[in-house]
């Protein structure tokens, strides 16, 4: 749905019009409005797709350590948006919409396997058409660098007919010289703003750094409404697969139960996956875990050595060993 005001046309008839639309947004001069003019504008209210995580013209960042299961998580959300179904007990679906999932690094056979399990072979023709995928193994050339005008233009014809765009992940699809450089992120930030003005919803998928926070410049979050962090629970072991806690770190406009953290565990069955949901507020042990302990246990679950964990977290080796030993004792 597009905002009907002087800045944005109400209809985009073809791809050439779509490119002109983006160009006009880049070249229009600034305009100011007094309150009477502003209040009289017929600006449509943004509608939820999955409440509260996906909303029209609202953007989200989802980040997690490598191997935490963030692509499983994001594919489940994307499929729920395309099919008009709820991915978890927590987030009710409000409507189905057209989703574009831009995958920057997954092998095609792995992606196919995951989507077959997520859809459980129950994709209707309409839902299947709503979900469109761009993945590197099936593209004749390189994947686009969305930090460049060329890369953004390459995606324009696919984005034109999409309502929600997943970018999985930021590192593989931006190719920035320096992830910590705010200026380098500027072109992506401007592009996301333009897409919002065109009525699009963008979901950025990103890695966590060694400190447990999203990797690189914090300016990525400046023009986003929601930031979600997926964290391994206390005592996590790598053989347990996709099992994590979901924490809202930025939740513009959200409060109360909508913003509370919760835990998810993905259970694979022969032809589908099932998500086990648990509210964290009912688990005092998890709620009181020290964030540094979480990082140490997560790195241990990934098979990192004691020395590597000590260096990454700035914790004495003996302390790292004690925390891991205590966690194993608690598990047993």
CATH of the domain at 255: 3.40.50.300
Say whether pLDDT at 83 is over 90: yes
Say whether pLDDT at 184 is over 80: no
Q: What is the pTM of this model?
A: 0.75
- For 140-182, write each residue's pLDDT tens digit: 999 999 999 999 999 999 999 999 999 998 989 988 756 666 7
Instruction: Decide if 6 is inside a domain.
Output: no
Claim to verify: residue 208 and residue 295 sit in the same structural domain: no
Claim to verify: residue 264 and residue 317 sit in the same structural domain: no
pLDDT confidence of 205, banded at 50, 70, 90? very high
Predicted pLDDT of residue 10: 43
Please say whether the beta carbons of 5 and 41 come within 8 A.
yes
Predicted pLDDT of residue 282: 47
- The arithmetic mean of pLDDT across residues 20-33, rounded, is 70
Instruction: Decide if 276 is inside a domain.
Output: yes
Please say whether the beta carbons of 224 and 289 come within 8 A.
no
Q: Please provide the average confidence, as pLDDT, over all residues in the chain.
A: 84
Instruction: Decide if 15 is inside a domain.
Output: no
Say whether pLDDT at 328 is over 70: no
Instruction: Decide if 228 is inside a domain.
Output: yes
- Residue 251 is inside which H or E element, if any? strand 243-251
Please say whether the beta carbons of 22 and 197 come within 8 A.
no
| Sequence-separated (6 or more) residues with CB below 8 Å from residue 265 | 240, 242, 243, 275, 276, 278
The pair of three-digit structure tokens given for residue 207, joined into one six-digit string: 């890695």
Say whether pLDDT at 13 is over 90: no
Give the side-chain half-sphere CA count within 13 A for 244: 25
- For 91-127, write each residue's pLDDT tens digit: 989 999 999 999 999 999 999 999 999 999 888 999 9
Residue 283 CA to residue 252 CA, distance in Å, equals 26
Q: Which residue has the tokens 């792995």?
A: 110
How many CB atoms neighbour CB 130 within 10 A?
Answer: 23
Predicted pLDDT of residue 22: 63
Claim to verify: residue 196 and residue 69 sit in the same structural domain: yes
How many CB atoms neighbour CB 138 within 10 A?
Answer: 11
Higher per-residue pLDDT: 281 or 244: 244
Predicted pLDDT of residue 135: 96
The dihedral through the CA atoms of 68, 73, 75, 78 has a sign that is negative
Residue 141 CA to residue 223 CA, distance in Å, equals 31
Say whether pLDDT at 313 is over 90: no
pLDDT confidence of 23, banded at 50, 70, 90? low
- Residue 176 is inside which H or E element, if any? none
pLDDT confidence of 290, banded at 50, 70, 90? low
Claim to verify: residue 135 and residue 99 sit in the same structural domain: yes
CA angle 322, 63, 282 (to 5 degrees): 60
The pair of three-digit structure tokens given for residue 120, joined into one six-digit string: 């459980």
Claim to verify: residue 194 and residue 319 sit in the same structural domain: no
Say whether pLDDT at 6 is over 50: no
Claim to verify: residue 310 and residue 215 sit in the same structural domain: no
Say whether pLDDT at 19 is over 60: yes
Claim to verify: residue 175 and residue 322 sit in the same structural domain: no
Instruction: Decide if 88 is inside a domain.
Output: yes
Q: 266 forms bridges with which residues in the sheet? A: 275
Say whether pLDDT at 239 is over 90: no
Predicted pLDDT of residue 211: 77
Nearest one of 1, 93, 100, 99 to 48, comparing CA atoms: 93
Residue 62 CA to residue 114 CA, distance in Å, equals 19
Say whether pLDDT at 2 is over 60: no
Claim to verify: residue 317 and residue 234 sit in the same structural domain: no
Q: Give the CA-trace dihedral at 232, 236, 241, 247, to 10 degrees.
A: -20
Instruction: Decide if 7 is inside a domain.
Output: no
Residue 108 CA to residue 154 CA, distance in Å, equals 20
Chain mean position to CA 266: 17
Claim to verify: residue 194 and residue 296 sit in the same structural domain: no
Claim to verify: residue 172 and residue 301 sit in the same structural domain: no
Count: domains in the chain? 2
Nearest one of 272, 229, 216, 251 to 87, comparing CA atoms: 272
Instruction: Decide if 105 is inside a domain.
Output: yes
pLDDT confidence of 39, banded at 50, 70, 90? very high
- The arithmetic mean of pLDDT across residues 9-30, rounded, is 61
Q: Which domain holds residue 314?
A: 290-331
- For 127-136, write each residue's pLDDT tens digit: 999 999 999 9
Claim to verify: residue 163 and residue 300 sit in the same structural domain: no
Instruction: Decide if 116 is inside a domain.
Output: yes
pLDDT confidence of 255, banded at 50, 70, 90? confident
Claim to verify: residue 74 and residue 137 sit in the same structural domain: yes
- For 49-65, write each residue's pLDDT tens digit: 999 889 999 999 999 98
CA angle 211, 215, 221 (to 5 degrees): 115
- The arithmetic mean of pLDDT across residues 188-216, rounded, is 87
């Amino acid at each position: 749905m597009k905002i009907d005001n002087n800045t944005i046309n109400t209809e985009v008839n073809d791809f050439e019009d779509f490119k002109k639309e983006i160009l006009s947004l880049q070249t229009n001069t600034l305009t100011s409005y007094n309150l009477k003019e502003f209040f009289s504008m017929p600006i449509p209210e943004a509608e939820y797709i999955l409440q509260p995580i996906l909303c029209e013209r609202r953007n989200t960042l989802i980040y997690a350590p490598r191997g935490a299961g963030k692509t499983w998580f994001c594919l489940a959300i994307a499929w729920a948006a395309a099919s008009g179904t709820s991915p978890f007990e927590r987030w009710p679906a409000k409507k189905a919409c057209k989703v574009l999932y831009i995958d920057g690094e997954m092998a095609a056979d792995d992606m196919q396997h995951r989507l077959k399990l997520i859809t459980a072979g129950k994709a209707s023709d309409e839902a299947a058409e709503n979900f469109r995928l761009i993945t590197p193994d099936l593209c004749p050339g390189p994947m686009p660098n969305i930090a460049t005008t060329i890369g953004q233009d390459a995606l324009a014809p696919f984005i034109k007919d999409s309502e929600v765009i997943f970018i999985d992940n930021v590192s593989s699809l931006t190719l920035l010289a320096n992830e910590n450089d705010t200026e380098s992120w500027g072109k992506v930030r401007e592009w996301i703003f333009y897409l919002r003005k065109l009525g699009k919803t963008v979901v950025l998928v990103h890695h966590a750094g060694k400190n447990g926070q999203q990797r690189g410049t914090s300016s990525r979050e400046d023009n986003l409404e929601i930031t979600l962090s997926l964290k391994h629970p206390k005592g996590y072991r790598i053989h347990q697969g996709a099992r994590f806690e979901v924490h809202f770190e930025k939740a513009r406009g959200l409060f109360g139960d909508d913003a509370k953290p919760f835990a998810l565990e993905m259970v694979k069955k022969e032809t589908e996956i099932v998500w086990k949901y648990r509210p964290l507020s009912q688990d005092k042990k998890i709620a009181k875990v020290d964030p540094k302990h979480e990082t140490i246990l997560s790195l241990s679950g990934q098979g990192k050595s004691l020395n590597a964990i000590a260096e990454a977290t700035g914790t004495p080796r003996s302390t790292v060993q004690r925390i891991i030993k205590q966690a194993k004792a608690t598990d047993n």
